A = this chain, B = another copy of it.
Amino acid sequence: MKTSLGAKTIVYPTPVFVVGTYDAEGRPNVMTVAWGGICCSKPPCIAISVRKATYTYGNLMERKAFTVSVPSRDQVAEADYFGMVSGRDEDKFAATGLTPVRSELVDAPYVQEFPLALECRVLLVSNLGMHTQFVGEILDIKAEDDCLGADGELLVERIAPVIYAPGESAYYAVGERLAKGFAHGRRFGTEKRA
């Protein structure tokens, strides 16, 4: 039996995306968002949502560019802090000791120490209500060398990304590998019944 919980923003998993932008003076800022995800394969696009009141919102509207840095599990405290305070009030890079790297492709900085960074230019802005959604075209992905396998493939276990659970407001690790996609489901359907 299922119980109704009302109209809430709870689903699993939600991501821990650290959105990097420059402000009007060119100061790097980062903000953590859990509202977002990939939204198109061609052009490759990722969506992130922020409130109008955030410092990042103004930066995004001005620069039309952002990065998404993906923290590793040992960087969850930094990521949490990035979502707790405003770049108007604090220099989040200075406070954490992390390093902003200027993207060569878009007008935005990413976090050097985080294992994965996506560089994006804003394609579409949709005001949905409390949040505004920014769709960014992914121009490049950069990964730490020690997260790449022998054939240049990304190793999830090395990245050790973090999941956010909105219901209880807690971070979780990625656990064990369960199955290969577009393969495990073959037991059902025509192939099975043929």
A-to-B contact residues, CB < 8 Å: 1-15, 17, 34-47, 49, 68, 70, 73, 76-85, 89-90, 92, 95-96, 112, 116-118, 123-124, 126, 128-131, 133, 135, 137-145, 148, 152-154, 156, 159, 161-190, 192-193
A101 to B, closest residue via Cβ: B2
Q: How far is the CB of A52 from chain B (nearest CB, A)?
A: 12
Q: How far is the CB of A37 from chain B (nearest CB, A)?
A: 3
Given A42-B130, A47-B37, A79-B185, A168 and B153 contact (CB-CB distance below 8 Å): yes
Residues B45 and A40 in contact, CB atoms below 8 Å apart: no
Q: Oligomeric state, in number of copies?
A: 2
**Cα A84 to Cα B162 with chains together (Å):** 27
**Cα A178 to Cα B68 with chains together (Å):** 21
Given A6-B140, A133-B40, A168 and B154 contact (CB-CB distance below 8 Å): yes
* Residues on the B chain within 8 Å of A124, using CB: 126, 128
Residues A39 and B38 in contact, CB atoms below 8 Å apart: no
